[in-house]
């Protein structure tokens, strides 16, 4: 009888193989959130942001992640930020006001969940994207695993906006945060983060309105 090992099984996803890939944190621009996350947004990673309404400051949380700071250690090649099926129209003037380069931001609208998953996977895996930000209603656990592996492979960050109802379903995402607008504050419930305990961070309107890094 032949003995079968894990290495003999094709397309087997092993979570421990990703443990050494994540190597850095990107500061969010919010000190309290950075402390809760252990330094900032994990990179590379798959991040899920769960919310029921948009326009409550959720995109301002990502500004630090979407800025490309020049580094003498990296080759002079700029990466793009891909927006998949955003529920609003991106404006170049608004991007520039937040110190983002409009030319680095690409938008693609897809109608079917399978197409969104495919586009996000390919973009993350390519290594050409600093981040891929997408809005999805339902994705299977296997699809989320594929997206996470693609982010690790391409050394980028995938950000998924999903309905709050998905919080009750387990996810392989590196980080999961539920966003709730509690005027005049924004509550961030950190539901899952590798290596740290879940917590709640409240950001005041002053913090939300302040661009990270300024």
Tens digit of pLDDT for each residue in 114-172?
Answer: 999 999 999 999 999 999 999 998 889 999 999 999 999 999 999 999 999 999 999 99
- For every residue of 46-90, DSSP letters joined together read EEEEE-S-SSSSTTGGGHHHH-----TTS-S-PPEEEEES-SS--
Tens digit of pLDDT for each residue in 43-85?
Answer: 999 999 999 888 887 888 899 899 876 555 555 677 999 999 9
Q: Is the pTM of this model over 0.85?
A: no
Tens digit of pLDDT for each residue in 195-214?
Answer: 888 899 998 644 444 443 33
Structural domains present in the chain: 48-68+77-209 (3.40.50.300)
Sign of CA dihedral 96, 116, 87, 26: negative
Residue 173 pLDDT level (bands cut at 50, 70, 90): very high
């Amino acid at each position: 009888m032949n003995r079968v090992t894990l290495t003999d099984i094709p397309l087997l996803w092993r979570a421990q193989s990703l443990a050494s890939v994540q190597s850095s944190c990107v500061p969010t621009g919010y000190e309290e959130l950075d402390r809760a996350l252990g330094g900032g947004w994990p990179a590379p990673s798959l991040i899920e942001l769960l919310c029921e309404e948009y326009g409550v400051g959720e995109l301002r949380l990502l500004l630090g992640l979407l800025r490309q700071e020049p580094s003498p250690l990296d080759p002079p090649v700029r990466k793009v930020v891909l927006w998949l099926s955003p529920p609003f129209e991106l404006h170049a003037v608004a991007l520039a006001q937040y110190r983002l380069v409009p030319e680095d931001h690409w938008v693609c609208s897809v109608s079917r969940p399978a197409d969104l998953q495919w586009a996000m996977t390919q973009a993350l895996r390519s290594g050409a994207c600093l981040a891929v930000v997408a809005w999805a209603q339902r994705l299977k656990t296997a699809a989320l695993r594929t997206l996470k592996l693609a982010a690790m492979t391409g050394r980028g960050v995938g950000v998924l906006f999903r309905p709050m109802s998905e919080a009750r379903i387990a996810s392989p995402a590196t980080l999961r945060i539920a966003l709730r607008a509690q005027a005049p504050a924004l509550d961030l419930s950190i539901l899952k983060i590798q290596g740290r305990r879940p917590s709640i961070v409240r950001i005041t309107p002053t913090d939300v309105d302040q661009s990270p890094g300024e």
